[in-house]
């Protein structure tokens, strides 16, 4: 643990020096910064990254395709497609037909489709054809499903959507092209889910039984695995590593842990202890994720990267008052 803090102290000092010299470098990705209501670039690489100035301000909600330069934002309660992030001429185009302002979003793996959804309103809506021809599809009312909307997953190129309805009368469902919902094998309290990279399997965290359920979608058969060492798992992402092996990254809230589970070995390969409470696992770069968003102005942004090895880094908050495009 002492080594952890020494490394981060060194990184923090190095980043301050780089920033004072105003050096430009690679962009890891773009993120919505809640405290300042802006879209910002994460400049540099995890471990030596800084928050860039606002590239779009007065944003009420925003989501950007991981490692890409376009996304969806809401300004003055109006949905807009934003592109050319990182350029000197950011482009915004109003989107007609968006049902309402969402509370969260999830992207398909290829960035061609995004699902906007509202947990409190129990609805979801897809925008497809990105980035060339954005198409706002009809919203889907989830009030016909029992339970509370906890999570949504989409498989590239967006042909299938899965939803996790948690709480009393919980269940997981798969959406068909006709926008009906097919119940998946019964589980106690599904709280998080994600598709495998090839779309053949759906991984679900059952918080009630504290199990991981792998569902093969071709025949709806399933396997259950006990998630050892995680008290309150609430977020999951399936990632293919450099050896073409699927690994599942699972965030656990109250015990502040990030687990790395191998379905092929049926065991937890590694558990990373966090010094903060994770807020989710949201894609940022090719191999990086936001695991704790900024909530207050003084908060850092916490990133998790899978290469060259799994590690957690922070992006300091001291640059977050820089302004940019209004």
The pLDDT-based confidence of 175 (bands split at 50, 70, 90) is: confident
Per-residue pLDDT of 253-284, as tens digits, reads 999 999 999 999 999 999 999 999 999 999 99
pLDDT tens digits, one per residue of 114-150 = 999 999 999 999 999 999 999 999 999 999 999 999 9
Whether 208 has a pLDDT exceeding 50, the answer reads: yes
**Do 304 and 289 touch, CB atoms closer than 8 A?**
yes
Q: Is pLDDT larger for residue 23 or for residue 138?
A: 138
- The predicted pLDDT at position 243 comes to 87
Apex 103 CA angle, 101 and 105, nearest 5: 100
Query: Which stretch of 10-19, 127-136, 291-300 has the lowest confidence by average pLDDT?
Result: 10-19
Whole-number pLDDT of residue 5: 37
Average pLDDT over residues 150-172: 88
Q: Which one-letter DSSP state was computed for residue 285?
A: S
* pLDDT band at residue 84 under the 50/70/90 scheme: very high
CA 255 to chain centroid: 20
Please, which residues bridge with residue 44 across strands?
49
Is residue 35 pLDDT above 90, yes or no?
Answer: yes
- Measured distance CA(304)–CA(96) in Å, rounded: 35
The DSSP-derived string for 204-221 is: EEETTTTEEEEEETTTTE
Mean pLDDT of 9-15: 37
Question: Quick one: pLDDT band at residue 317, thresholds 50, 70, 90?
Answer: confident
Domain boundary assignment for the chain? 1-101+297-326, 145-283
- Indicate the pTM of the whole model: 0.88
Q: Please report the sign of the dihedral spanned by the C-alpha atoms of residue 240, residue 246, residue 247, residue 250.
A: positive
Among 4-8, 72-76, 241-245, 271-275, name the one with the lowest average pLDDT: 4-8
Q: What is the pLDDT of residue 42?
A: 97
Q: Are 151 and 142 in contact (CB under 8 A)?
A: no
**pLDDT of 86 above 50:** yes
Beta bridge partners of 207: none
Residue, of 275 and 227, whose pLDDT is higher: 275
Residues linked to residue 72 through DSSP beta bridges, in sequence order:
63, 81
User: What is the predicted pLDDT for the residue at 157?
Assistant: 61
- CATH number belonging to the domain at 145-283, selected among 1.10.260.40, 3.10.129.10, 2.130.10.10, 1.10.150.20: 2.130.10.10
Is the model's pLDDT at 177 over the cut of 90?
no
pLDDT of residue 228: 87
Q: What is the pLDDT of residue 320?
A: 56
Q: What is the pLDDT of residue 145?
A: 93
Range in 89-103, 153-167, 191-205 with the lowest mean pLDDT: 153-167
Name the phi and psi angles at 227, rounded to 5.
Answer: -95, 95
């Amino acid at each position: 643990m002492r080594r952890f803090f020494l490394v981060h102290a060194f990184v923090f000092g190095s980043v301050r020096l780089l920033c004072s010299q105003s050096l430009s470098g690679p962009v890891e990705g773009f993120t919505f910064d809640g405290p300042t209501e802006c879209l910002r670039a994460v400049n540099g690489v995890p471990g030596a990254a800084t928050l860039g100035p606002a590239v779009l301000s007065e944003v009420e909600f925003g989501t950007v395709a991981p490692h890409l330069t376009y996304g969806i934002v809401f300004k003055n309660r109006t949905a807009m497609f934003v592109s050319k992030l990182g350029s000197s001429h950011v482009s915004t185009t109003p989107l007609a037909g968006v049902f309402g302002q969402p509370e969260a979003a999830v992207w398909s793996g290829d960035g061609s489709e995004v699902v906007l959804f509202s947990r409190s309103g129990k609805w979801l809506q897809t925008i497809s054809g990105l980035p060339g021809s954005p198409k706002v599809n009809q919203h889907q009312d989830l009030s016909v499903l029992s339970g509370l909307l906890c999570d949504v997953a989409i498989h590239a190129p967006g042909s299938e959507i899965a939803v996790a309805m948690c709480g009393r009368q919980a269940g997981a469902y798969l959406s068909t092209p006709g926008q009906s919902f097919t119940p998946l094998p019964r589980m106690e309290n599904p709280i998080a889910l994600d598709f495998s990279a090839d779309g053949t399997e759906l991984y679900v965290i059952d918080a009630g039984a504290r199990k991981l359920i792998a569902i093969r979608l071709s025949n709806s058969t399933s396997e259950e695995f006990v998630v050892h060492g995680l008290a309150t798992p609430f977020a999951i992402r399936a990632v293919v590593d450099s050896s073409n092996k699927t690994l599942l990254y699972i965030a656990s809230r109250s015990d502040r842990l990030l687990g790395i589970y191998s379905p092929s070995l049926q065991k937890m390969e590694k558990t990373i202890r966090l010094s903060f409470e994770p807020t989710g696992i949201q894609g940022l770069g090719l191999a990086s994720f936001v695991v704790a968003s900024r909530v207050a102005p003084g908060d850092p942004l916490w990133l998790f990267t899978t290469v060259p090895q799994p590690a957690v880094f922070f992006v300091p908050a001291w640059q977050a008052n820089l302004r940019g495009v209004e």
